[in-house]
Amino acid sequence: MFDRPGCLLAFVPGFLRSRLVVGLLQLLVPSFLRPGPSEPKKLHPTAWLDGMRGISALCVVIYHSSLLWFTWDLHEGYVPGSYEILKLPIIRLFISGPPHVAIFFIVSGYAISYKTLKLIHQGRFDDVGSTLASSFFRRHPRLFMPAAVVTFFSALMTQMGWYDLQGLPGVAIPTREPAHAGSLREQMVHFAWTEVWNTDPIGQEHARGGIPRTVENPYDANLWTLPIEFNTSMVVFMFLAAFSRVRNRVRMSVAFALIIYFEYFWAYWALFLFLAGMLICDLHFEIDDHRSRSAKNMISSEDDVLPIWARVPQGIVSRISRKIAGSSFFGRITGISLFTLALWMLSVPEKTYIDTLYTHMGAVVLVLAVDHSTHLQIVFTNPISQYLGRISYSLYLIHGPLLWTLGSVLGRRCVAFMGGETNETYVLGVAMAAFLWWPVAIWVADLTYRGVDSKCVQLARWSYEKLLRKEA
């Protein structure tokens, strides 16, 4: 009955078949090949955060692919006098993973606190409560619902034997096959219990330096960050709820003290990064408030001494002069210098926990420098960075299963095709595998973003709005 292509369409009414086929084809076309709006969309003030998140996600995928295709030696520190260019400071960030996790966590702390802190600085405390309630409600499904969908397909791929069991010899992680059950039913039961265990909103420990993780997802070990992100997000939301009505600088001082306490006394590195992102965001609004007050005071002082006909032009001149001062050559040099320093600190190989302190501080300096340097934000607000930002979470979710299935097979076959006896032919084989794998990864991530990630976000928001009690 089902031996011919398209036979399943026989069960679809005739007037719906063409729409179904067209809709399916449209779904399969990646978003960057679709016609966009006639006018470019205006970027949000925090659009650079999305771009930074996208570039970090890209580098994390490159890091994990290097573990599949190369040895651990690739990630050792640079030895002076050697010709290993990829190990040089700053350059090695393109193939490193942990530094970008630190950046991602700080960016997340900034992003999830942005709206709440903006309302706090505006004095709209009733709206602060509503915003935090919505954030609490939607955070769990936003993180875990898309991951559950992708993990479901990973479980199916496991049952169908799609994970490569050979891998390349001598590489860091040649294979990574999830537990293979005896039947599809047993596989689905295993998947269900895995999701229950990994989405526990209460019982999971906070990440601490030097202490191994107690929970890992057997279908994708790369998802270890999700429970940590959820736990630390809850701490950020609770802190904002507790300190929303206190004076701004008191709140910032307490946040700074907690950051030092968590990092240097208890090694709660994830809390350090999320709270640091929140503090950078708070500092951003505090500086904006200070500039706004200074501008008002300057204009009011001008109004006291100038005649009416001179007040407006003089006010315009004052604003222009402040703009010029804010974008001075010295300011640009300072921003670029801090940005370069941050990249160097992020490049320190993490061999001990002390080394991770350099990484964490580098991530803080990086986000702080870009936040206050509009000329640096161009790196993260261009169309490519913005696109990577949109698909970043989906790319993060799908790259693990796709690497240890398609990526592993492509690596073996391309290296064999090129010979692989010498370093040069081996690298050429890996380059060929990467050239074939990356378009598939971007396409699957784009499809996952449109079909899963964005839909889960919409569902969580819709559910919250439907469940809200109508105010009298």
pLDDT given for residue 233 in this prediction: 95
Tell me: the pLDDT tens digits for 25-64?
A: 667 777 777 776 656 678 888 999 999 999 999 999 999 9
Instruction: Kindly state the average pLDDT of the residues 215-228.
Output: 90
CA 420 to chain centre: 35
Is residue 311 pLDDT above 50, yes or no?
A: no
Asked whether 71 and 171 are in contact (CB, 8 A), the reply is yes
The answer to whether position 34 is within a domain reads no
In-domain check, residue 162: yes
Is the pLDDT at 453 greater than 90? The verdict is yes
In a domain, 32, yes or no: no
Q: Tell me, yes or no, whether 257 lies in a domain.
A: yes
Overall domain count for the chain: 1
pLDDT score of 308 more than 80: no
pLDDT of 101 higher than 90 = yes
Longest CA–CA span in the chain (Å) reads 91
Higher local confidence (pLDDT), 21 or 367:
367
Distance (Å, whole) CA 375 – CA 389 = 19
Asked if pLDDT for residue 309 goes beyond 50, the answer is: no
Does any domain span residue 52? yes
Look at residue 28 and tell me if it is in a domain: no
Write the pLDDT tens digit of every residue in 110-122. Answer: 999 999 999 999 9
Question: What is the percentage of the chain residues whose pLDDT exceeds 70?
Answer: 83
Radius of gyration for the alpha carbons in the chain, expressed in angstroms and rounded:
25
> The domain containing residue 428 runs over which residues?
43-463
Average pLDDT over residues 278-283: 96
Does residue 121 belong to any structural domain of this protein? yes
Say whether pLDDT at 305 is over 60.
no
Tell me if 382 is assigned to some domain: yes
Q: Of the candidates 430, 469, 371, 323, which has an alpha carbon nearest to the alpha carbon of residue 95? A: 430
Provide the 10 A C-beta neighbour count for residue 395: 24
pLDDT above 60 for 302: no
- Cα dist. 463→2, 55, 232, 278, 460 in Å? 38, 31, 23, 27, 5
pTM, rounded to two decimals: 0.87
How many angstroms separate the Cα of 20 from the Cα of each of 16, 432, 456? Answer: 6, 36, 22
- Cα→Cα distances 168→69, 309, 409, 470, Å: 7, 78, 9, 60
Q: Which of 175-184, 198-207, 410-419 has the lowest mean pLDDT?
A: 198-207
